[in-house]
Chain A
């Protein structure tokens, strides 16, 4: 009897949870906005060439002191390790020491990392996607130590202890515009798309807003939806969530991903479900993404300018310790990678892909250590 009761509860739970969803919907489309499609094509054409210059062009202009120490809080993601290597190589050029402090992404490990920075009395510190609430209590000590704090890819604005912020939500939202433009251009104004977002990555929220706004602007008749992916599904649950959504919405022919890693295993899942006509566009990049683009499993990606982001953070520390004026925080220009130009991704710096080819040497030139 109790099992039957439990079965009823489980079934009702499933039904209740399902009722919270959107149910089965039909899609609609209207006349093609030819002007919008043309604007989308122009945007894609403009960003299809790999940028060759940094946005930061002002040399430091003063001697950069040697013997400085920079702490870098790495994260659990594979890319963080690579970034650490890039920063280490540049720090060595400056005659500096870069300490890599590992973190598993938990607030506890992040707080321990900040404790380490306080103990190190580092001249500068760079960290990735850590909210200030985690390290708020260390800010007075860091300020007393004279540590220049660089926040990368978090939602926090500079000020009140954060000396420099880059890869902010506002700076990242341009990738959303490019993804929208690519979908409109590729579909000829006949896209029915869904944008998959990971709400846990708060720094990406404006990218979704921008994607939706640009889709509406470039193709008002293109149905566009959003769907959240729980961070706990990253690893093995994402392909099935996306396949489920696409089966419930068979009119959808484009999938847009807020981070390319959501595509891991997705092409195989789409093929198995007979949904391989659905095209994938993403943001972030990475070796698996380039492989998917080469094999035709994904049509485009807007790579994150990781190398330029963190070198800009190091540049900010260089200018601080040299007494040179700071330059405005800016990301490198975006670039859309497709099958036509994916060959450019084969050239790497310390194992990762700079958006601006040779950006590490360009920064070193600005510092006068090239």
Chain B
């Protein structure tokens, strides 16, 4: 599950064609297909909406509007790279948001409230670690179960009511509503987060170990890598990023909604899986994930600018997802055939 490409073919995939230099191969459609799709989408909408689409406002709308989806998707990169699902991340987003909102409305300092929200998220990450790594329950089922428990706790804690109050419109709202050169906080955070993940995964020993665990946990274990510790840490990282995304979400909404995070479950998985088909030839990676989010966002924003019918965005997303993953499948089969 961790990679969309067979482990056995991984080393062979780097030079995609003997006649091409690695630089040209990196720019080929098999490596950055989503960028080509993105370019086509942009060209199509620039032709159809010559006034409103090719503007800086569109760039900002895509960046600002889809930054939370990007952060949610980035939360999944590390656990998926270790062949571990984390289905609880969306509930963790909700939990950190309602926790922080609860304390802010209660008069606690916003920064301290956010710290408490993050602690709640990390606690769930640790619980996930115990369930998946210590108890050896399949991660798909285990994190689904913990997510369900988290949602139950949220309903109990909030009585299924939205936490609101004018206090949330103060300093707390600045976390997500602060603007830097026209881009909101989460848009900047998502890029910084992607850069950090990219550096860790690509340029550190820990990153190599994470991918090694994902490619072949048995081989990694034989290579003296502590597989359990890496998977446990991956779940903690996922919860930490999801918790931060949840804080941004609550800050953006100026409220703590007991169901706000669940809406990000499927879009985040869609983005991270499409992202795995980009740049790294089948590996879950941060920049590929961001490209996928931008590609989906560019199309969706174009459709909303053109006041397309209400089924259009879903249809577009479905077509893009099937296409991207089908193309990856074709690529994988082609590599297998040599």
Query: Known contacts being A3-B29, A17-B308, A271-B177, is A23 close to B49, with CB within 8 Å?
Result: yes
Segment among A159-167, A229-237, A314-322 that sits at the interface with chain B: A229-237
Chain A residues whose C-beta falls within 8 Å of the C-beta of B233 in the assembled complex: none
**Closest B-chain residue to A273, C-beta based?**
B61
> Which B residues touch A81, using CB under 8 A?
159-161
- B330 in the interface, Cβ–Cβ < 8 Å? yes
**Chain B residues within 8 Å of A10, by CB:** 37, 40-41, 299, 316, 319-320, 323
A57 in the interface (beta carbon within 8 A):
no
Say whether B280 faces chain A, with CB atoms less than 8 Å apart.
no
Name the CB-closest residue of A to B301.
Answer: A244
B30 in contact with A78 (CB, 8 Å): no
On whether the beta carbons of B307 and A291 are closer than 8 Å, the reply is no
On whether the beta carbons of B179 and A272 are closer than 8 Å, the reply is yes
Is A23 a contact of B306 with CB atoms below 8 Å?
yes
B327–A21 contact, CB under 8 A?
A: no
- A23 with B310: in contact, given A287-B162, A288-B164 (CB under 8 Å)? no
Residue A264 at the B interface, CB < 8 A?
yes
Instruction: Please report the total number of B residues contacting A with Cβ < 8 Å.
Output: 77
Residue B281 at the A interface, CB < 8 A?
A: no
Range class of the A interface residue count: 35 or more
Query: In the assembly, what is the distance between CA of A233 and CA of B173, in Å?
Result: 23
Chain B 13-25 against A: per-residue CB contact (8 Å), 1 yes, 0 no? Answer: 0000000000000
- CB contacts (< 8 Å) of B254 on chain A: these are 267-268, 288, 291-292, 295, 297
Assuming the contacts A9-B319, A14-B316, asked whether A4 and B303 have C-beta atoms less than 8 A apart, the reply is no
Known: A272-B60, A291-B169. A235 touches B161 (CB 8 A): no
Q: Mark A189-212, 1 if CB is under 8 A from B, else 0.
A: 000000000010000000000000
Q: Give chain B residues whose Cβ lies under 8 Å from the Cβ of A21.
A: 303, 306-309, 312
Question: B45 near A14 (CB under 8 angstroms)?
Answer: yes
Among candidates B30, B304, B309, residue contacting A240 with C-beta atoms closer than 8 Å: B304
Interface presence of B239 (CB below 8 A)? no
Given the complex of chains A and B, what is the CA–CA distance between A248 and B302 in angstroms?
A: 10
Known contacts: A232-B314, A264-B255. The answer to whether A6 contacts B37 by CB under 8 A is yes
Beyond A237-B300, A274-B182, A297-B254, 5 additional contacts (C-beta under 8 Å) are: A21-B312, A24-B306, A78-B162, A287-B161, A291-B255
Asked if A18 and B173 sit within 8 Å, CB to CB, the answer is no
Judging by beta carbons under 8 Å apart, are B310 and A6 in contact? no
Q: How far is the CA of A247 from the CA of B60 in the complex (A)?
A: 12
Can you list 26 residue pairs at the A/B interface with Cβ under 8 Å?
A: A3-B29, A6-B324, A10-B41, A10-B316, A11-B37, A13-B315, A14-B45, A17-B303, A17-B316, A18-B312, A19-B306, A21-B308, A21-B312, A24-B51, A78-B161, A82-B161, A237-B300, A244-B303, A245-B307, A247-B57, A248-B49, A264-B257, A271-B179, A290-B164, A291-B164, A295-B169
A230 in complex: contacting residue of B40, B48, B176, B311, CB < 8 Å: B311
CB contact between B57 and one of A11, A230, A273, A297 (< 8 Å): that residue: A273
- For B37, what are the chain A residues with a Cβ–Cβ distance below 8 Å? 6-7, 10-11
Complex Cα spacing A232 to B311, Å: 9
Chain A CB within 8 A of B26 CB: no
CB closest residue in chain A, given B35 = A7
Give chain A residues whose Cβ lies under 8 Å from the Cβ of B58.
247
Which chain A positions have C-beta within 8 A of B39? 7
Cβ 8 A contact of A351, one of B45, B161, B165: B161
With a cutoff of 8 Å between Cβ atoms, the chain B residues found around residue A294 in the complex are: 166
Q: Are B314 and A291 in contact (CB under 8 A)?
A: no
The one of B160, B164, B165, B306 that contacts A18, using a Cβ cutoff of 8 Å? B306
Residues of chain B with a CB closer than 8 A to A229's CB: 310
- From B263, B267, B303, A14 is in contact (CB under 8 Å) with B303
Encoded as 1 (CB less than 8 Å from any B CB) or 0, chain A from 333 to 355 comes to 00000000000000000010000
Q: A9: which B residues are within 8 A, CB to CB? A: 319, 323
Tell me if A15 counts as interface (CB < 8 A to partner B).
yes
The docked-state distance in angstroms from the alpha carbon of A232 to that of B179 is 29
Q: Which of B132-179 contact A (CB under 8 A)?
A: 159-162, 164-166, 168-169, 173, 176-177, 179
Does A239 touch B at the CB level, under 8 Å? yes
Taking a contact as CB atoms under 8 Å apart, the answer to whether A247 and B45 are in contact is: no
The residue in chain A whose Cβ has the minimal distance to the Cβ of B177 is A268
Contact A2 B44 (CB under 8 A): no
Output the least CB separation between A345 and chain B (Å): 11
Interface flag for A241 (CB, 8 Å): yes
Is A236 within 8 A of B263, CB to CB?
yes
Which A6-53 residues have C-beta < 8 A from chain B? 6-15, 17-24
Q: Please provide the chain A residues from 244 to 279 with a CB less than 8 Å away from any CB of chain B in the complex.
A: 244-245, 247-249, 264-265, 267-269, 271-274
B112 at the interface (CB under 8 A from A): no
B335 proximity list for chain A (CB < 8 A): none
Q: Which of chain B's residues have a CB closer than 8 A to the CB of A240? A: 61, 65-66, 300-301, 304
Which chain A positions have C-beta within 8 A of B166? Answer: 291, 294-295
